Amino acid sequence: MENSREKILKVKHLKKYFNTPAGILSAVDDINFSIKKGETLGVVGESGCGKSTLGKSILRLEEPTSGDVYFNGKNVTKMDKRELKQIRKDMQIIFQDPYESLNPRMTVSQLIQAPMIIQGIYKKSQREEMNKKTLEIMEQVGLARRLVNTYPHELDGGRRQRIGIARALALQPKFIVCDEPVSALDVSIQAQILNLMQDLQESMELTYLFITHDLSVVKHLSTRIMVMYLGQMVEMGTPQQLFTNPLHPYTKALLSAIPVPDPDIKMQRIQLKGEVTSPINMKAGCRFAKRCLFAKEVCKKENCPLVDVGQEHYVACHLVQQK
């Protein structure tokens, strides 16, 4: 079963709880997984399921409540500030909203150079080399040279997201958390950015954690996909496993809700009861039980562990496991 490729990232029992006036919100609750080098792990789920918090906790942009994150064998959660700054060269993030994640008072070149300066890659005397490198990166992400001194507000969403990608690439990272990088873009631009990200992955041997709510995008890009619900992983498998043989009732419902762009295929939607709530003060039992059409007594009482049902297809559901 073990692939020969090394595991670049291992996440063990990762938890991130927030204190809210209503109680403790378990945004990320005991998540375990690993990513192999060069892989894309897609993370899907609806708003509020904790997928962004998961990405940020891995990079320690949010301080995890407990659990461990191993990057190339080193425990990121135990690192002090200096070590963390070092490791951030290898671990980067691309944010969702290219309108809000760029400093409006910095030019394109300043934006791309900021990470290099912060990390001390170039000294003051190496201005020229840094400028050369900037142009190289701009070319890599498809930004025209003439844009080097423009400001973000002069550019459209697609180009701004290219800056976001350029910034992440500036330090030649090995691993990038992509937090809904194409959600704010029009379809024709979205396709351009997705192709760019695939090309970069190939040429730079990048590993992605790709967070999105768009199931078509995640199916297109991912080596494996993790489905999250209220802070927990409910299913994980290859796109093939998940899309042809979804096992968890939530995955099934989610897949059945996607409108297929073909008028001859009529949707057979699985109706869900109610809406997603917040994981505040969670009690034992399956978190999906309240909305699940098949929930039994055991589902409401006992937590359901994640079990491998064969060929690294993991699912957390009492009903599947009883079969």
Which residue ranges make up the site for another protein (CB under 8 A)? 46-47, 156, 158, 186-192, 194-195, 198, 213, 215-217, 219-221, 243, 253-255, 257-267, 269, 272, 275-276
CA R_g for the chain: 21
Least gap, CB of 217 to another protein (angstroms): 6
Which residue in 222, 276, 289 sits closest to 33, CA to CA? 222
Beta strands in the chain (DSSP E): 7-20, 23-36, 40-44, 66-71, 74-75, 91-94, 175-179, 207-212, 224-229, 232-237, 307-308, 314-315
Say if CB 190 and CB 220 are below 8 A apart: no
Least gap, CB of 188 to another protein (angstroms): 4
- If the CB atoms of residues 69 and 215 are measured against another protein, the closer one turns out to be 215
DSSP designation for 65:
S
Neighbour-count burial of 252, counting CB atoms closer than 10 A to its CB (0-12 exposed, 13-18 middle, 19+ buried): middle
- If the CB atoms of residues 43 and 116 are measured against another protein, the closer one turns out to be 43
- If the CB atoms of residues 46 and 68 are measured against another protein, the closer one turns out to be 46
Q: Please give the structure tokens belonging to residue 234.
A: 């409910």
Least gap, CB of 261 to another protein (angstroms): 4
Count the alpha carbons within 13 Å of 257 in the hemisphere toward its beta carbon: 14
- If the CB atoms of residues 64 and 158 are measured against another protein, the closer one turns out to be 158
Least gap, CB of 236 to another protein (angstroms): 19
Least gap, CB of 139 to another protein (angstroms): 17
Which residue in 143, 112, 106 sits closest to 130, CA to CA? 112
- If the CB atoms of residues 63 and 262 are measured against another protein, the closer one turns out to be 262
Q: Please give the structure tokens belonging to residue 316.
A: 């957390």
- If the CB atoms of residues 156 and 205 are measured against another protein, the closer one turns out to be 156
Least gap, CB of 234 to another protein (angstroms): 14
